[in-house]
Amino acid sequence: MTAPKALVAGNWKMNGLKAATSEINRLNDLINEKGAKCDVLICPPFTLISTLVDTGAKHVAIGAQDCHMNVSGAHTGDISAEMIKELGCDHIIVGHSERRADHAESNETVKAKAAAAQAQGAIAIICVGETIDEREAGKALDIVTSQVKASIPDDATADNTIIAYEPVWAIGTGKVPTAADVEEVHAAVRDVLIDRFGSAGDNINILYGGSVKASNANELMSVANVNGALVGGASLKADDFYGIISAYDQIG
Ligand code: PGA
């Protein structure tokens, strides 16, 4: 298959009430007027998914930030991939570092969640990334490649899997790795994907995430093997987020 389009995805985390619907409408209008050379996704909290899907914004896909590894059952407070799919979502983020830290999610858990998403026909956006201590100890490549190996289900393809490299120390801090560091990690992830999945691994999108904003998007998105962005803070306001999307006007 041919490689999917680049993806600029927003992760609203635990932010947004119904009033945030206006941001989706505004984003949809901006893309309608000015265009987008990449696919665009917003992953709001579960509570807003239906409201945002109901806007009918045709240029903005709506996804989820997590799912349970089981289809149904006695798991109070959890949401399954089947439930998310039924709302009209095709993308589910799994293994974000905040979930790995706040909910002690292991690679094994993340892999089971990714498989649960894929089993429902959704695309799992699997997050990986090193802490500052790991980077300073020279272990970033080892950590990230071992997370990728252990978090990806065996039947991953470019149709059901996206990887997001997000250095933990770059999330919400305004700090970003150098383009050379991003290139090195993305190349290592690409090697793991090709080793394991052959040519299919060449087509799996690898997003960069961590303090992406309009002012650095062009540089980061131009790096080899960077196939889009996963954006937290700068995805909450449509105009800021569109500034990142429009970086693809120059990249093509
Ligand atoms: P940030 O978050 O863009 O606010 O750094 C990125 C993320 O956690 O996905």
Tens digit of each residue's pLDDT (9 = 90 or more) over 122-131 = 999 999 999 9
Q: How far is the CA of 167 from the centre of ligand 1 (A)?
A: 10
**pLDDT of residue 49 exceeding 70:** yes
From the alpha carbon of 210, which atom of ligand 1 is closest? 5
H/E/C letters for each residue in 86-141? Answer: HCCCCEEEECCHHHHHHCCCCHHHHHHHHHHHHHCCCEEEEEECCCHHHHHCCCHH
pLDDT computed for residue 252 by the predictor: 58
pTM: 0.98
Looking at CATH, the fold of the domain delimited by 7-251 is given as TIM Barrel (3.20.20)
Q: Is the CB of 211 under 6 A from ligand 1?
A: yes
**59 noted as active-site residue:** no
* Sequence spans of domains, the chain: 7-251
For residue 169, how many other CB atoms are within 10 A of its CB? 21
**pLDDT of residue 250 exceeding 90:** no
From the alpha carbon of 13, which atom of ligand 1 is closest? 8
